[in-house]
């Protein structure tokens, strides 16, 4: 009996001695399992930041944008689906420009170009030119082509790039741009009245004055 009691006592002492180590091991295991979710939460937060930063304004702007049709081929959504010459033909404010582009035989040139910017004069912009002078230009294909290609830059320009820019045109002359926010000028003579209009192959900035190459 004495021997049995001694054995039971020894077993109880051993169990008591091991208990803290067992609890510590369980506690460490619990901490290890808890850590990954925290790290995962941080990773998710980090991943969401670039997406948030990329959410920038990229919409058309300017007072004249209100006159663009809300639906159909001439709307902003409609123009975005067509190459630039076709898109312009669906905008009622650009009918003179479209007629000039056709007269100069530049429809295919503009439609087939990739990643361009077009400064597109409104009908009112062409109306600033005395009729006799405008008729003379429209009848002179070489001069007309020179003027029209002066309105085209061989890259897509963002509003940010217009803040203080100088760009070579397809005519090989240079245009300068300045401004900020939703107010920009081209060559200090022409105001952007509806900017950042997207077409399938171009960014369009509708302007209130025809640009004349030097």
pLDDT at 57: 59
| Opening angle at CA 110, ends 95 and 164, nearest 5 | 90
Q: Is residue 105 over pLDDT 50?
A: yes
Q: What is the pLDDT of residue 35?
A: 45
Query: What average pLDDT does the segment 144-169 reach?
Result: 98
Q: What is the pLDDT of residue 89?
A: 96
The answer, yes or no, to whether residue 212 has pLDDT greater than 50, is: yes
pLDDT of residue 6: 40
What's phi and psi for 208, nearest 5 deg?
A: -100, 5
pLDDT at residue number 135: 95
Percent of the chain residues past pLDDT 90, beyond the cut: 71
Answer yes or no: is pLDDT of 75 > 90. yes
Pull the structure tokens for residue 200: 């399938």
* Structure confidence at residue 49 (pLDDT): 35
Q: Which two tokens stand for residue 199?
A: 């077409």
Q: Taking all residues of the chain, what is their mean pLDDT, rounded to a whole number?
A: 82
Nearest to 158 by CA among 110, 125, 192: 192
- Summarize pLDDT for 9-67 with one digit per residue, the tens: 444 444 444 444 433 444 444 444 444 444 444 333 333 333 333 334 589 999 999 99
Asked if 119 and 88 touch (Cβ cutoff 8 Å), the reply is: no
Q: What pLDDT, on a 0 to 100 scale, did the predictor assign at position 9?
A: 43
Higher pLDDT pick, 109 / 7: 109
Contact 196, 159 (CB under 8 A): yes
Q: What is the pLDDT of residue 41?
A: 42
């Amino acid at each position: 009996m004495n021997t049995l009691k001694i054995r039971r006592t020894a077993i109880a002492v051993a169990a008591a001695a091991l208990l803290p180590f067992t609890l510590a091991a369980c506690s460490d295991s619990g901490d290890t399992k808890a850590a990954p979710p925290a790290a995962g939460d941080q990773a998710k937060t980090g991943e969401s930041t670039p997406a948030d930063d990329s959410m920038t304004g990229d919409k058309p702007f300017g007072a004249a944008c209100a006159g663009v049709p809300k639906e159909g081929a001439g709307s902003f959504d409609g123009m975005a689906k067509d190459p630039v010459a076709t898109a312009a033909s669906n905008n009622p404010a650009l009918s003179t420009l479209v007629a000039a582009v056709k007269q100069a035989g530049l429809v295919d040139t503009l439609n087939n170009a990739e990643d361009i910017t077009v400064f597109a004069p409104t009908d009112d912009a062409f109306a600033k030119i005395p009729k006799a002078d405008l008729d003379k230009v429209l009848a002179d294909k070489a001069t007309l082509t020179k003027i029209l290609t002066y309105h085209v830059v061989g890259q897509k320009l963002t509003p940010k790039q217009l803040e203080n820019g100088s760009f070579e045109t397809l005519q090989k002359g240079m245009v300068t741009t300045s401004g900020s926010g939703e107010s920009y000028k081209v060559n200090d003579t022409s105001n952007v009245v509806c900017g950042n209009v997207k077409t399938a192959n171009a960014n369009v900035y509708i302007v209130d004055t025809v640009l004349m190459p030097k």
